[in-house]
Structure 1
Amino acid sequence: MKNSGMTPTERRAAVSLAGIFSTRMLGLFMILPVFALYTEHLEGATPFLIGLAIGIYGLTQAILQIPFGMLSDRIGRKPVIYGGLLIFALGSVVAAMSDSITGIILGRALQGGGAIAAAVMALAADLTREEHRLKAMAIMGMSMGVSFSISLILGPLFDSWFGVHGLFWMTAMLALVAMAILALAVPTPTVSRFHRDAEPVPAQFKNVLGDSQLLRLDFGIFVLHLILTAIFVAVPLDLQNKAGLASEHHWMVYLFVMLLSFAGMVPFIIIAEKRRKMKQIFVGAIALLIVAVLSMSQVSTSLVGMVAALLGFFLAFNLLEASLPSLVAKIAPADMKGTAMGVYTSSQFLGAFTGGVAGGWIYQHVSAEGVFIFCGFMASLWVILASTMKAPRHLGSYMIHVGPVSRAQAVELSGEIATVVGVVEVVVIPEDEVAYLKVDNQRLDQDALARFSVADPDAQDGHPSAPVTANS
């Protein structure tokens, strides 16, 4: 079976939507490595309120991202995305014009209120055929990872040039850039419809929240982003006040550790996927995370020691950040991936909020070392849960556009598709006109699946839909 490749519209959609995600990510996270240093310049600032300001975006984003995604099903994707970006820009302006910690907390809350992630994912699904949707999502995911890393480097650099207020003004400008990308580069879909591989289904929440294996992963992303946000209440201050590194040079540390950690994670990703050692690598990365954050509590007066601990932390963080979504896709039932990812993403944002609040409170009432010990404790709980999870099946997600079928035909078609070599799980949803599969990539007979696909009259650029290439 031949794969026609992504159409120009699909490539344009993937790249332009990745650009929207990236610009927004830059705006949210450039403040992360520098804001704790700004305490003395803000009226009413305390470490607790600094932590709240850093993490508050996660609370509003967790609350609103699923409702905004559902709203986009009713009024359209682009209006919701424009509205979210406008709220994000407004929050950035409020923070830029504030001289008090209260004003910045309000601004950061508004930034998180521009919760467009679910709507952007739904728009990406509208603009791509089933066979290439995972590629588009992967492009967007990689862009967010790169953007986060760049934000840690650019934040201290731009802070030394423009200050924190300047960073917030830049963030507002980035929101306008994202709106321009949406207007000028993102195609408008001919048809918008619901996609259960990219959007949550309310009726499925009970099943997803009752799955102990998925809950382990939700707890994991919660803890990972709790730790990320909490340590940045303390790390910038330790680098400056204890290790003696001026704030304008912090970007050099982040550049060094991010480059080495990205290079270092590649062999482990290959071993996890190719040699099917996912659980071992995953649990090992959590163990490394524990060692790294506990080391920070002991080496804060040594620049070399802090750089080494940060290198270990980001090596573990990048491995876990890449592995967790893949594990959710492997474990979630074939037709519940969108719901599972919605819960997972909300857990991530709640972790960021909790980490900021807890990190700030512990720094104020205990010490910086207390922050790191707390993070080590949370990671220890995680490693216990992760070590008891079932080894994930190394299966890929696969979708076929099957066209209009009745419920009786869907049941019959499911049985026929299930006989294909390599197909492990199949659910045909008549309302979606799609068969959702879990497959063993190494055994899958793709040619045998070709006869089950039909042309999709709503496909972008007039290209028919066809079976997807199996992917994790």
Structure 2
Amino acid sequence: MTKFETRAAFSLAGIFSLRMLGLFMIYPVFTFYANRLDGSTPVTVGLALGAYGLTQAMLQIPFGMLSDRFGRKPMITIGLVIFAFGSVVAAMSGTIYGVILGRVLQGAGAVGSVILALGADLTREEVRTKTMAVIGMTIGLSFAVALVVGPLLNAVVGVSGIFWLTAVLALLGIGVLYGVTPQPTALRSHRDTGAVPALFARVLGDGQLLRLDFGIFSLHAILTASFIALPNVLHDVLGIDQAHQWMVYLPVLLASVALMVPMIIIAEAKRKMKPVFIGAIVVLGMSQVALLMWHASLVELVIVLTLFFAAFNTMEASLPSLISKVAPAEAKGTAMGVYSSSQFFGIFIGGTVGGWAYGIDGPSGVFIFSAIAALLWFAVAVTMKAPRFTQSRMLKVDVADKAEADRLTAELLGQPGVVEAVVVPEDGVAYLKIDSERADDVDLDKFSGRPVEA
């Protein structure tokens, strides 16, 4: 990556992380705060926790499309201002309904897809994967940091203070956007990162992709519901006050990452993706059953939570890789858009239904709901076909019309290791999938002079 591209990647990752950090910091402390607000019930508390997911799911694809017309930076600015305003509304609200409104507004600042599109505008195709990886890693890092920092900040400034800080972080993101992030020379549609309306029917009609969409929906429904119950279990059952709950989350998260890494290696390097995938769902479901039965001991809880987060992290890393492998070569961005919307809708359902379940039977109700969700996911995923192990690549090509594109497609498909090829004349790009074991043997220089990984 050039210095220009490195600056683009890390500045956009910074904007992403500033926004996500604010969203995640309230997870471990929100239920205690919300229970003291006027109008608070288990359902409204759960709704407030998950409400941002609904507007995020509805608006992130439209935001991306609008940025093609009105520009990336203006749309990111609008989204961050809306997000900051929602944070202020939540901070100033004395009722649960005001907080719900604030969370809805936070989700309405759905700039994730626009940040990815800007990253694609600012980088060459051959380093696009690195750019997206840098941005993507900020999500996991922000989540881990937020679970530790959230309880500590809550002890000093309270949840309303965290909402105020979230607004400040969003405004800092605008500062990074205009002070650090380069200005793109041109806006282009990127099928590898953005949604294409003409491809929605194809993506939504693909049973394999829908299984994966249901997977990310279920994963984040379970996660969000869990944080309605877990803080209360730590406080009410084990006597750990809010300010010290980070002492549980930190070692659990570190141990879970240590367990996740070999699982990802086995899945990718040993081509055992489906067995690892199904196994992680089983561990996820069994951890909910274990939480239902054994949460009165700190040692038991730490062990179960470590397994839960190890399975969660494994799925969080595996699902995007599976989408990339399964999606049609030219529809990766569209498939990722639907997948991401499914994730945020899962957050909304997890919060709302999790709150309802907590109202019926306390933490046990939440763990039963999460176990049922994992069981349904298992039933859907077990019929999934084992994925092909392919790498996505793009070629810059110069074709005048569809006839030339068809001829080039046929030539590319005749190359050893090329399992899928689509040439899009208007993009000037050939979208390929190549057998990952033969990727180094595929010589594409003669077609482009710039074979690049997407």
TM-score range, shorter chain: over 0.9
In structure 1, what is the equivalent of residue 206 of structure 2? 211
The answer to whether residue 436 in structure 2 is matched with residue 441 in structure 1 is: yes
Quick one: which amino acid aligns to residue 52 of structure 2?
A: Y
Match of 2:117 among 115, 122, 126: 122
**Distance in 2 of aligned mates of 1:445 and 1:158:** 49
Matched, 1:247 2:242: yes
State whether structure 2 residue 11 is matched by structure 1 residue 16.
yes
The aligned counterpart of 1:229 is: 224
Distance 1:306 1:63 in 2: 36
Which residue matches 1:312? 307
1:199-220 superposed Cα distances (whole Å, 9 cap, x missing partner): 1111111111111100000000
Matches within 5 A, 1:385-400: 385-400=380-395
State yes or no: 1:55 paired with 2:23.
no
Instruction: Give the one of 139, 149, 168 matched to 2:163.
Output: 168
Where 1:403 maps in the other structure, the secondary structure is coil
Structure 1 spans left out of the alignment, 5+ residues: 1-5, 455-465
Number of residues paired by the alignment?
454
Map 1:325-364 → 2, pairs under 5 A? 325-364=320-359
Q: CA deviation at 1:46?
A: 1.3
Two-structure CA RMSD over aligned residues (Å)? 1.2
SS in 2 for 1:375: helix
Report the alpha carbon displacement of residue 347 of structure 1 after superposing the two structures with TM: 0.3
Q: Distance in 2 between matches of 1:40 and 1:79?
A: 38
Which residue type is aligned with residue 414 of structure 2?
A: T
Secondary structure at the residue paired with 2:452? coil
Deviation of residue 141 (structure 1)? 0.7
Question: Displacement of 1:446 after TM fit?
Answer: 5.6
Check conservation: 1:131, 1:400, Cα contact below 8 A: no
Q: Corresponding residue for 1:458?
A: none
User: What CA distance in whole angstroms lies between the structure 2 residues aligned with 1:40 and 1:88?
Assistant: 24
Distance, in Å, in 1 between the alignment partners of 2:385 and 2:365 is 33
Distance 2:63 2:108 in 1: 10
Name the counterpart of 1:71: 66
Deviation at 1:284, TM superposition (A): 0.4
Alignment partners' CA distance in 1, 2:378 and 2:189 = 36
CA contact (8 A) 1:292 1:310 kept: yes
CA–CA distance in structure 1, aligned partners of residues 428 and 79 of structure 2: 30
Classify 1:73/1:446 alpha carbon distance in 2 versus 1 (closer, same or farther; 3 Å): farther
Could you give the per-residue CA deviations for residues 118-167 of structure 1, whole angstroms, max 9, x where no partner exists? 11111111111111111111111111111111111111111111111111
1:419 deviates by 2.0
Residues 39, 47 of structure 1: 8 Å contact kept = no
User: Letter of the aligned partner of 1:398 in structure 2?
Assistant: R
Contact map agreement 2:417 2:435 (CA 8 A) in 1:
yes
Q: AA paired with 1:407?
A: K
Deviates more, 1:40-49 or 1:425-434: 40-49
- Which residue of structure 2 lines up, in the alignment, with residue 3 of structure 1? none
Question: Alignment identity in percent?
Answer: 57
In the aligned structure 2, how far is the partner of 1:395 from the partner of 1:194?
Answer: 24
Decide which of 23, 26, 35 is 1:31's aligned counterpart: 26
Q: Match of 1:366, SS? A: helix
Which residue does 1:462 correspond to in 2? Answer: none
Distance 1:103 1:370 in 2: 26
Q: How many Å separate the matches in 2 of 1:315 and 1:146?
A: 15
| C-alpha separation in 2, matches of 1:280 and 1:246 | 39
1:186-229 alpha-carbon deviations (Å, 9 max, x no partner): 11110111111111111111111111100000000000000000
Give the Cα–Cα distance (whole angstroms) in 1 for the partners of residues 299 and 182 of structure 2: 48
User: What is the rounded CA distance, in whole Å, between the counterparts of 1:444 and 1:239 in structure 2?
Assistant: 49
Of 185, 209, 212, which aligns to 2:180?
185
Give, in angstroms, the shift of residue 309 of structure 1: 1.6
After superposing on structure 2, the runs of 4+ consecutive aligned residues of structure 1 that deviate more than 4 Å are none
Alignment of 1:261-340 (within 5 A): 261-340=256-335
Q: From 116, 128, 135, give the equivalent of 1:140.
A: 135
The reply on whether 1:467 has 2:448 as its aligned counterpart is no
Q: Secondary structure at the match of 1:468?
A: strand
Report if aligned partners of 2:53, 2:345 keep a CA contact under 8 Å in 1.
yes
Structure 2: distance between partners of 1:226 and 1:292: 15
